[in-house]
Amino acid sequence: MRELIVAYQRRVAGFVYAITGRSDSIEDLAQMVFVKMARAINRLKAPEQFESWLFRLARNTCIDHLRRQKLRRIFTPFAPEHENVPEPDGAVDSEELDALRHALEQLRPKDRALLALVQEGRSHAEIAEICKTSVAAVKARLHRAREELRQHYQSDED
């Protein structure tokens, strides 16, 4: 189990960051993903689908986290100055990463997850299964998400 966590921790961290955009929640969320993995791995029927299954866990954990955060804000709203607090100084030390992060922020969480799954090398069929939708829908949403990302990324660079 330990080897499995070590082997995937970097990829899961990148995946979590692409969806949440917050450096300070990477480790907590990655830990939640691996705890879920450890508890449910015995129920995985097809070991060859492990990666796809792991990234589904990671996607759902991040989406749930963002949803809970949004819900919490409804009941305990933050003051305007506390909403969307930027990452602390030095958290992001690269301009291009900053541009990508800002571009990703403009997208819906589900679209960010879609792009992150592609970055992880998941096929359209796998993504369709993970997102519980059709391959055609994945292709259409992916095309739209890529276009949006490109627009925001370019405008950030200008």
Closer residue to another protein, CB minimum distance, 9 or 60: 9
Q: What is the 3-state secondary structure (H, E, C) of the chain?
A: CHHHHHHHHHHHHHHHHHHHCCHHHHHHHHHHHHHHHHHHHHHCCCHHHHHHHHHHHHHHHHHHHHHHHHHHHHHCCCCHHHCCCCCCCCCCCCHHHHHHHHHHHCCCHHHHHHHHHHHCCCCHHHHHHHCCCCHHHHHHHHHHHHHHHHHHHHHHHC
Query: 85 φ, ψ to 5°?
Result: -65, 130
> Any contact of residue 106 with another protein (CB under 8 A)?
no
Binding string, residues 32-71; x marks residues near another protein by CB under 8 A: --xx--xx--------------------------------
CB of 142 to another protein, least distance (A): 14
> Any contact of residue 142 with another protein (CB under 8 A)?
no
Q: Using CB under 8 A, which of the segments 22-30, 47-55, 66-74, 121-129 binds another protein?
A: 22-30
The token duo for 6 is: 């070590």
CB of 73 to another protein, least distance (A): 24
Binding string, residues 2-21; x marks residues near another protein by CB under 8 A: x--xx--xxx-xxxxxx---
Residues that bind another protein (CB under 8 A): 1-2, 5-6, 9-11, 13-18, 23, 26-27, 30-31, 34-35, 38-39, 92-97, 99-101, 119, 149-150, 153, 157
